[in-house]
Chain A
Amino acid sequence: MARASFSQATWLVAEREMKTLVGTKGFWIGFLFTIAGLFALTVLPTVFGGDDPEVAVVGSASQVVQGKALDVREVGSVQEAADLVRADEVEAAIVPDGAGIKVLALNSPPNSVIRELVESPPVELLEGSVVTSGQRSVTVIVFGLVFLMFGMGGAAIAQSTVTEKQTRIVEILVSTVPVRALLAGKILGHTILTLGQVVVLALVAPIALRVAGLGELLGVVAPALGWFVPFLMLGFVLISSLWAVAGALVSRQEDLGSTMGLVMLAVMGPYFGVQFFYENPVVLKWMSFVPFTAGVAMPVRLFAEQAAAWEALLSMGILAATVVVILLVASRLYTGSLLQTGARVKLSKAWAPAE
């Protein structure tokens, strides 16, 4: 009789995982949510924050505001202007004061208006960078969020594993194909799906940036994106194998929560680590070499032009080596726990050689 080879079995498992996941509503909701979130992060600030501040102007003060980026409303008297400020219809009022002018505001100095009225001194940056700190924080947030979304998305692997254990189809599967093919197929299937989503995002991202008027940022982000994608994929494989083990250790969906915590920590920890410490170059440098945080930290450093290509390659090498080690460990734990039903399987028992 014909026999499915290891790679055929792996592919069949991967194919089924993909079809199943794509057939669920949750997958599409999650994906659309990610796209919407990215648009919101990049586009909304310019839509809502881009308007010129509105000011009321009285008499001779109108000369001062000419040619400034202010939305001017001329009124007849100081009293009238003050009323508009109190009614919160304008941000501030600019009124004559002796020979000069005075700004009226409600309860705090209107910085955006004042900035327009004073002449700023020339600034020379000694260590200039094409990337502003604002752009950097946007990149940290976007890279971090994408990593978080896909990392958490890997939970589908845990769920699919538990489904197989809970329904006991696992007995048929295990008597048919090697357990490693099951594990490999799951990771492969979900990795391909994630890669597909990343590609769609990479195609959508430039549109979002153009809409936001950040077209020039694109040129800066593109190379970092080139690094981000392989880091993201390796990071995903790393997390995936952990999700698979989390699923194999329990026998019912209801018990999944007890093993998912640690994996969630492995996804969220690095996310928050990078969000909190990206402005600390020393911590960021360390994080860019630690496998779990490298996926976000290294692309951010590359984006900020703080890291050389060799550092990225080294970090990726460390990550790849970790992936191999974790895959081997996960495969043993997965094999050791897949057929154990009942209570949650202890890690030591999953690791022990089969009886």
Chain B
Amino acid sequence: MLTVRGISRSFGDHKVLDEVSFDVRPGRMTGFLGANGSGKTTTMRIVLGVLAAHGGTVSWKGTEVGPDNRPDFGYMPEERGLYPKMKVRDQITWLARLHGVDRETARRNTDELLEDLELTGRAGDRLEELSLGNQQRVQIAAALVHEPDVLILDEPFSGLDPLAVETVLDVLRKRAAAGVPVLFSSHQLAIVERLCDDVVIISKGRIAANGSREELRAKHAGDRYEIVVEQDAGWVRDVPGVTILELDGPRAVFEAAPQQVLRAALDRGEVRSFTPVVPTLDEIFKEVI
């Protein structure tokens, strides 16, 4: 498990991170959400040692993260960059070797990744000759080629078209399934909603919410339900203690007293559906920040 505990950081007088703590669990995709300037990138840079923290610790499997275990991490920085004039395959292989992978494995991993990312045809081209979307895929390959134990990806999906998002997603899921903790930041909540297991929401340098997606939803679900009956559902407002939020013919959204409403509905006829209303990440996000 990657453990972040009490990380703080200031730039001048401006406190960017204030006692940030969260965990990234093995085999889980953890979405790191926050508005622009909320401290996502700063946190990730501190985890990777690119920036020093002004307090707090980051540890991996109980050992503080430093030059000894950091090469086991895979990192995709927010500001993309590889050598523009270096050929794609050479570049990825070289980065693998810099992480300590032997030549043979480096070559094999590179070819497999390029295949998975549908870049095999561009392997011999210089990076600068590729479209931005393809350069982004190469950047993903650069973060994965040394079979990292931990993946830290800053906005890995920005700039990708929907098809590329799927391709990259498959590759990342494969890693997570193999037991690698994956921390990725994003401001595209729909994507995060769909693919993350855990969510960490940061706001103004503080952790605003943190937990598994289901936990968070349940926690923020409140006492809200939706019922769909045969005929007009107007009678729901007469059930004692109930507050109607939406009423639309046979459909009603209300708060409190679910059992009474359900019983009353069954007395009147058939119930088409009855569900607790789960908030979307978007709603949770807006609520907590």
Give the interface of A toward B (CB within 8 A). 1-4, 8-9, 12-13, 16, 20, 163-164, 166-178, 339, 354-355
Q: Which residues of B contact A174 (CB under 8 A)?
A: 49-50
Q: Is B5 on the interface with A (CB-CB < 8 A)?
A: no
Closest to B47 in A: A175
Q: How far is the CB of B274 from chain A (nearest CB, A)?
A: 51
Please pick, from A168, A173, A355, the residue contacting B52 in the complex, using a CB distance under 8 A. A355
Contact between chains at A175 and B49 (CB < 8 Å): yes
Q: Is B81 on the interface with A (CB-CB < 8 A)?
A: yes
Contact between chains at A12 and B97 (CB < 8 Å): yes
Closest to B149 in A: A1
B98-106, B182-190, B194-202 - the one binding chain A: B98-106
Q: How far is the CB of B153 from chain A (nearest CB, A)?
A: 12
Closest to B83 in A: A169
A3 to B49, CA, bound (A): 17
Q: Which residues of B contact A164 (CB under 8 A)?
A: 83
Closest to A9 in B: B98
Q: Which residues of B contact A177 (CB under 8 A)?
A: 71, 98
A49 to B106, CA, bound (A): 60
The binding surface of chain B is classed by DSSP as loop
Q: Which residues of A contact B159 (CB under 8 A)?
A: none
Q: Which residues of A contact B48 (CB under 8 A)?
A: 171, 175
Q: How far is the CB of B73 from chain A (nearest CB, A)?
A: 7
Q: Is B255 on the interface with A (CB-CB < 8 A)?
A: no
A176 to B146, CA, bound (A): 11
Instruction: Name the interface size band of chain B.
Output: 35 or more
A16 to B98, CA, bound (A): 11
The binding surface of chain A is classed by DSSP as helix
Q: Which residues of A contact B72 (CB under 8 A)?
A: 1
Q: Which residues of B contact A169 (CB under 8 A)?
A: 81-83
A142 to B114, CA, bound (A): 50
Contact between chains at A171 and B94 (CB < 8 Å): no
Give the interface of B toward A (CB within 8 A). 45, 48-52, 54, 67-68, 70-73, 75, 77, 79-86, 94-95, 97-102, 142-143, 146-147, 149
Q: Which residues of B contact A16 (CB under 8 A)?
A: 86, 94
Closest to B11 in A: A355
Q: Which residues of B contact A3 (CB under 8 A)?
A: 68, 71, 100
12 further A-B pairs in the complex, CB-CB below 8 A; given A163-B84, A175-B48, A175-B49: A4-B98, A163-B83, A164-B83, A167-B82, A167-B84, A170-B81, A175-B73, A175-B75, A177-B71, A177-B98, A339-B50, A355-B54
A16 to B102, CA, bound (A): 16
Contact between chains at B50 and A176 (CB < 8 Å): no
Contact between chains at A178 and B67 (CB < 8 Å): yes
Show 15 A/B contacts (Cβ-Cβ < 8 Å), sorted by A: A1-B71, A1-B72, A1-B146, A3-B71, A4-B99, A9-B98, A12-B97, A16-B86, A172-B77, A173-B98, A175-B50, A175-B70, A175-B73, A176-B71, A339-B50
A163 to B147, CA, bound (A): 26
User: What 4 A-B pairs come out closest when comparing CB atoms?
Assistant: A168-B81, A167-B81, A4-B100, A2-B100
Contact between chains at A4 and B71 (CB < 8 Å): yes
A249 to B80, CA, bound (A): 20
Q: Which residues of A contact B99 (CB under 8 A)?
A: 1, 4, 176
Q: Which residues of A contact B75 (CB under 8 A)?
A: 171-172, 175
Q: Which residues of A contact B70 (CB under 8 A)?
A: 175-176
Q: Which residues of A contact B80 (CB under 8 A)?
A: 168
Please pick, from A1, A171, A176, the residue contacting B98 in the complex, using a CB distance under 8 A. A176
A185 to B100, CA, bound (A): 16
